[in-house]
A and B are shown apart, each in its own frame.
Chain A
Amino acid sequence: MPSDLSARHILEFPGGYTRTTGPVIGRFLTELRDGRIVGVRTADGRTLVPPLEYDPHTGDPVTGEYVQVGPAGTVAEWTWVTAPRAAHPLDRPFAWAMIRLDGADTALVHAVDTGHPKAIRAGLRVWPRWRAERVGQITDIECFVPEVTMIVSPVRTEYTVTPGRALTRFLEGVRDGILLGGRCATCDKVYLPYRISCPECGSPIEEERQVSDTGTVTTFAINNLPDPRAPEVPFVSAYILLDGADTPMIALVGGVPAHEVRQGMRVRAVWVPEAERTLSMTNITWFAPTGEPDAELEA
């Protein structure tokens, strides 16, 4: 008849077993305690890391010649530990890896702390992270960590931006619900926004000229990449030639599905309510179709 009777039983040699290291592994651990990693040479000139008292291929004794290796090495193979156990060297996910230290002919097993499995790969260069207090154990190396290959360099400049005389004048108009251009008397062209010199001939512009808030879409892009200044995706950014202006402005077209916008479409500015207007282009929400017939475009 089955019984529920059970008891916990612990088998642990009090104080822990000892391991006599012998001269070769003893040397390896002694060097570790001093922050160095050594291997031992075999008769045929290979360097075993960690060292053994014998050549594992032939059974012959090793030479007794110790060689400092590493401390850096290259990951040969690895496996990812998603849920570390209590006895594992790290308390967060890490990789067990075969690491071939520089100057060694064999690989050493150790933990590699990359934070994420995508950050480890065969060929990754790693360096030991030493414990401050070392006792002569393989855990004197807490783990290996990737080489430094990149740093972050925060750059931040802060400006006080003033719009200047011409743009201030234009924005005053926008606050009052009008769009101000500047007419070059030499070229007979009306520039929008208002400016005080002509980009064509360099002459000063002295004449303010109010242009209409209606115009024609000359061309446009349908943007499928989101932008914080656009209400949705896709959005249309259009070149709009306002009636009375000779230079187009780039603005959002709204109130119409993106794929119904046409070159030649007649549009009008949609202003925010007067009480909400400031010295800013955000006073115009977007341009919406007027419903007039499309304008003729140049061939």
Chain B
Amino acid sequence: MGNRCAVIGVGQTHYTTKRRDVSMAGLVREAALRALEDAELTFRDIDAVVIGKAPDLFEGVMMPEAYLADALGAAGKPVTRVHTAGSVGGSTALVGASLIQGGVHDRVLVVAYEKQSESNATWALSTHLPFTASLVVGAGGYFAPHIREYVRRSGAPAHIGALVAVKDRRNALKNPYAHLRIPGIDRAMVESTPMLWEPIRYLETCPSSDGACALVLASERAATGRPAWVHGTAMRSEPIFRAGRDTVNPRAGQDCAADVYRQAGITDPRREIDVAEVYVPFSWYEPMWLENLGFADLTEGWKLTESGATALDGDIPWNASGGVLSSNPIGASGLIRFAEAALQVRGLAGEHQVAGARTALGHAYGGGAQFFAMWIVGADKP
């Protein structure tokens, strides 16, 4: 895994539908400056900057890294752009971490963002090239059939998705940065909202957000304050058109989890991980990923959700921050998972802190569930 790497600064913007008061440069600076403040550093102390975001078509700014480099204090420094669809926030953190682990740099600023309000993601994801006749409309249209297949295989009762939607939004009420804040949300409210892409209801989907997230990563000798130590990092992808590809339980996700657990010495994730921030953009993906990530046996994930194990007061809280279901600046959504995992083991998660969290998982996925990025962070040095 290389040299030790620590998270010494975390910065987030308040996620919301439209940040009409800032430019894209202003938005990323807001997160970056908060992360630097947390690390008690300035742009001058940073060796390299890694920028991540989802497709350029979302804002129509091509190669935004070229535009944003000087806004992030990167003049004269290496700048890298990462893009792995929805998992990009996670991959961006991992590219930044690799620069530390490889001994190239001592302090790396990692920033990911999306300003979804500048256009419409469903439009950008449904461009309908000539000669094909794909009938997929947006991310929900793509993922709904795989959720249906999960429900069939697992025999999960229909209300499980609503339970996740309620749990994550209740957690969001404890997170000052969260976008969706729905006081009094309950199962009846979720179940009263219309089916958009059956079996996905309106309140079982993530919002569309503007926002940015930033991390300052440091080598062991540059680590200061109360760091979160990186115990494992892994990325995997798989071809979307592979024959026999299991879209419910993707092999790339299983392999990625196995790799990151091996590095961190984890053999029983449910027992050994204290809190997980997992990319759940549609509520049913919680039970699906509980199985894919080895927290539950196949077809048993929904039972964990139903039992309350993944709630903030459960034995393995998932998405204490409110998760992607509550805040979704797409390009940043993965990095927020990684950042929240770091905040938990630093004991700095505020009202949604899981008491005594020492080991946390950050997870992101993207594309047609074909890109995965994960890290394990801990309060102790690996």
Residues of the A chain whose Cβ atoms lie less than 8 Å from the Cβ of B194: 224
How long is the Cα–Cα vector from A163 to B194 in the complex, in angstroms?
Answer: 38
Is A214 in the interface zone, CB < 8 Å from B?
no
Task: For residue B181, give the distance in angstroms from its CB to the closest CB of chain A.
Answer: 21
CB contact between B133 and one of A163, A187, A224, A281 (< 8 Å): that residue: A281
Contacts of A189 in B (CB 8 A): 243-244
| Residues of chain A contacted by B195 (CB below 8 angstroms) | 222, 224
The answer to whether residues A224 and B149 also contact, given A247-B241, A281-B133 and a CB cut-off of 8 A, is: no
User: Are the CB atoms of B146 and A219 closer together than 8 Å?
Assistant: yes
CB contacts (< 8 Å) of B135 on chain A: these are 223, 227, 229-230, 235, 237, 250-252
Answer whether residue B125 sits at the interface, using C-beta atoms and an 8 A cutoff.
no
Which of A191, A221, A224 touches B243 (beta carbons < 8 Å)?
Answer: A191
Do the beta carbons of A247 and B141 come within 8 Å of each other? no
A230 to B198, CA, bound (A): 16
State the Cβ distance, B342 to closest chain A Cβ, in Å. 34
Interface of B is mostly: loop
Contact assessment for A238 and B129 in the assembled complex, using a CB-CB cutoff below 8 Å: no
Q: Are A247 and B129 in contact (CB under 8 A)?
A: no
Query: Which residues between 15 and 33 of chain A lie within 8 Å of chain B, taking CB atoms?
Result: none
- Within 8 Å of chain B (Cβ to Cβ): is A290? no
Indicate if the CB atoms of B137 and A225 lie closer than 8 Å: yes
Q: A299 interface residue, CB < 8 Å from B?
A: yes
User: Interface code B194-226, partner A: CB below 8 Å = 1, 0 otherwise?
Assistant: 111110100000000000000000000000000
Chain A residue numbers with a CB within 8 Å of B262 are none
The count of chain A contact residues (Cβ–Cβ below 8 Å) is 44
Q: Is A210 among interface residues, defined by CB-CB distance under 8 A?
A: no
Given the interface pairs A191-B241, A221-B141, A222-B195, the reply to whether A237 lies near B148 with Cβ below 8 Å is no
A256 CB, nearest partner CB in chain B, Å = 15
User: Closest CB of chain B to A150's CB: distance in Å?
Assistant: 7
Closest chain-A Cβ to B64's Cβ sits at a distance in Å of 13
Contacts of A252 in B (CB 8 A): 135
Does A263 interact with chain B (Cβ within 8 Å)?
Answer: yes
Once the chains bind, are B148 and A200 in contact (CB under 8 Å)?
no
**Residue A86 is within 8 A (CB to CB) of chain B in the complex:** no
Closest to A245 in B: B243
The 8 Å CB contact of A225, one of B60, B129, B197, is B197
Question: CB within 8 Å of B: which residues of A?
Answer: 149-150, 153, 155, 161, 163, 167, 171, 187, 189-191, 195, 199-200, 218-225, 227, 229-230, 234-235, 237-239, 246-247, 250-252, 263, 279-282, 284, 297, 299
Please name 6 pairs of A and B residues whose Cβ atoms are closer than 8 Å in the assembled complex, sorted by A: A155-B60, A161-B130, A195-B241, A200-B242, A221-B144, A263-B148
